[in-house]
Amino acid sequence: MSRSAHPAGPRYADVLPEGGYSAPPADLNSLDPRVWSRTVTRNADGVATVAGIDVKQLAEEFGTPAYFLDEEDFRARCRAWKSAFGEEADVFYAGKAFLSRAIVRWLTEEGLNLDVCSGGELATALDAGMPAERIALHGNNKSTEEITRAVRAGVGRIVVDSFQEIARVAHIAERLGRRQRVQIRVTVGVEAHTHEFIATAHEDQKFGIPLAGGQAAEAVRRALKLDGLELVGIHSHIGSQIFDTSGFEVAAHRVVGLLKQVRDEHGVELPEIDLGGGLGIAYTSEDDPREPQEIAGALREIVERECRAAGLAVPRLSVEPGRAIVGPTAFTLYEVGTVKELPGLRTYVSVDGGMSDNIRTALYDAEYSVALVSRTSTAGPMLSRVVGKHCESGDIVVRDAYLPADVAPGDLLAVPATGAYCRSMASNYNHALRPPVVAVKDGAARVIVRRETEEDLLRLDVG
């Protein structure tokens, strides 16, 4: 929410968000299809439903807070990415956004590959049957154990992130009698227009080997000399929650520039380019994300044009969307516990979860939307802040939202677009029990990640 004066008047200028507040939406009961997963709607009684199941029934059966993930929507998004990039490219789903065995099975069935960035993600992928050759291992500080497991399993590629790692992967692969396919992650020097903590290709941050100063070219030189490595390509990931294709285009241009330099220096044409993930989604009605076709068209066009100009064969392209596939497919369902009005300021609506199930608002100032979903209301708009139950004043789920003025304890609220980086970044802060993920499809709901229990917490506490 943004832009305009505080509804309570100028006296409260000090509490204004940057740019001010927007006017309340015309209809507080509507569920904007750009923000909600595809099968979310309201039934004749005004209760929101997903995949045909009403949220009151879901809350009763699975409790709150809980994430509800629309399987059909997830699969449709996988297919949209696959068909946008076509047979000449590979789509690696970024498991860090959210990973579970069910997700791995759906990805495998839909023909996507998988990017993992830890031993835990690798274990989940292999356990759920993703063929190793369709897995890429990432990370800026992979352990020797993680690299060894990945090489042993036969992963399709390891994306190396530093000079030390080039030597480390080569050494491990040689010791195991393997030749590991690797890509080198480079930093292209693009300032992605996103939050500082999720931008990854400007120069002053921890990921990748800079193109600047010839470091990436030196990394290629070293990798080409090592028997344990098969250098197959160059990787770039510029950041996350990006709406504008221009940063990807600059990255593609610079990566192709490096391929040309490698060809000119070593007579080798590297056969692959990966341009990472990062495509943004709509968290609120004000966001206007790009579609996979748009990004695919723009990337293909620039890679082909640049390669033609450089006299290079067009390399195989891959991308790693996480948020854009899983983000819009889930919402978090909460029950309202208390409603506290601060006259002239706003109303604090406390729900039964918070920063332990969605840290993004506190961490990145992320914006979310929220709706009353257990009923409709004809009450007027109330400027609200939806907060959690943790012992932190920064425990905010939705910073600025209009809710109907009659919202009361026992009502159910849902926050859409929480499929990415919410359950995967959830914590046990205040010994909160991490919520379950429930997959919904065709009128049926099943738990794919169960709710944590106090026994789970106590089992780890062995002191």
Ligand X SMILES: N[C@@H](CCCC[NH3+])C(=O)O
Q: How far is the CB of 421 from ligand PLP (least distance, A)?
A: 7
Those residues whose C-beta lies under 8 Å from the C-beta of residue 387, and which sit 6 or more positions away, are 348, 349, 350, 351, 354, 395, 396, 397
CA distance readout (Å), 72 to 79, 305, 328, 440:
11, 36, 12, 8
Determine if 332 is a binding residue for ligand X (CB under 6 A).
Answer: no
Q: Is the Cβ of residue 142 or residue 346 nearer to ligand PLP in the bound state?
A: 142
Q: What is the nearest approach in angstroms of ligand PLP to the Cβ of residue 281?
A: 9
The two structure tokens encoding residue 12: 């409260």
**Residue 360 touching ligand X (CB under 6 A):** yes
CA-based torsion, 114, 116, 122, 125: positive or negative: negative
Asked if the peptide bond before residue 416 counts as cis, ω within 30 degrees of 0, the response is no
Output the CA angle 223-116-333, nearest 5 degrees: 155
Residue 277 lies near ligand PLP (rule: CB under 6 A): yes
Among residues 78, 117, 391, 422, which one is catalytic?
391
Q: Is 422 a catalytic residue?
A: no
Under the binding rule (CB under 6 A), the answer on residue 187 touching ligand X is no
Helix 246-266 × helix 215-225 angle, to 10° = 50
Reduce the DSSP state of residue 374 to 3 states and report it. Answer: coil
Paired tokens of 224: 């080409």
Q: Which 210-249 residues touch ligand PLP, going by CB under 6 A?
A: 237, 240
**Exposed, middle or buried: residue 87 (CB in 10 Å: 0-12, 13-18, 19+)?**
exposed
Q: Does 419 bind ligand PLP (CB under 6 A)?
A: no
Provide the greatest CA pair distance for the chain.
Answer: 72
Q: Does 49 contact ligand X by CB under 6 A? A: no
What's at 66, amino acid-wise?
A
Determine the 3-state secondary structure of 217 from DSSP.
helix
Under the criterion CB under 6 A, does residue 142 sit at the interface with ligand X? no
Residue identified by tokens 């069910």 is 102
Q: Is 433 left (phi over 0), alpha (psi -120 to 50) or beta?
A: beta
Q: Which backbone phi and psi does 431 adopt, to 5 degrees?
A: 55, 40
Q: Is 421 annotated as a binding residue?
A: yes
Q: Could you say which of 70, 90, 320, 400 contacts ligand PLP (CB under 6 A)? A: 320
Residue 422 binds ligand PLP, judged by CB under 6 A:
no
- Between CA 125 and CA 105 the distance in angstroms is 9
Least separation, in Å, of the C-beta of 332 and ligand PLP? 18
Question: Is 322 annotated among the ligand-binding residues?
Answer: yes
360 binds, among ligand X, ligand PLP, none (CB under 5 to 8 A by kind): ligand X
Q: How many residues bind ligand X (CB under 6 A)?
A: 7
For the segment 402-421, give every residue that binds ligand X (CB under 6 A).
421
- Alpha carbon distance 166, 419 (integer Å): 34
Site for ligand X in 72-101 (CB under 6 A): 96
Q: Least distance from C-beta 373 to ligand PLP, angstroms?
A: 26
Q: Tell me the site size for ligand PLP, rule CB under 6 A.
A: 17
Residue 324 interacts with ligand PLP (CB under 6 A)? Answer: yes
Residue 253 and residue 305: Cα distance in Å, rounded?
9
Q: Does 369 bind ligand X (CB under 6 A)?
A: no
Please report whether residue 198 would count as binding ligand X according to CB under 6 A. Answer: yes
Q: How far is the CB of 421 from ligand X (least distance, A)?
A: 3
Site for ligand PLP in 278-297 (CB under 6 A): 278-279
Residue 278's binding partner among ligand PLP, ligand X, none (Cβ under 5 to 8 angstroms by kind) is: ligand PLP
- Binding-site positions for pyridoxal 5'-phosphate: 278, 320-323, 421
**Residues noted as catalytic:** 391
- Binding-site positions for substrate: 323, 360, 364, 392, 421
Which residues of this chain interact with ligand PLP, rule CB under 6 A? 94, 96-97, 115, 138, 237, 240, 276-279, 320-324, 420
- Binding-site positions: 278, 320-323, 360, 364, 392, 421
Which residues of this chain interact with ligand X, rule CB under 6 A? 96, 198, 200, 240-241, 360, 421
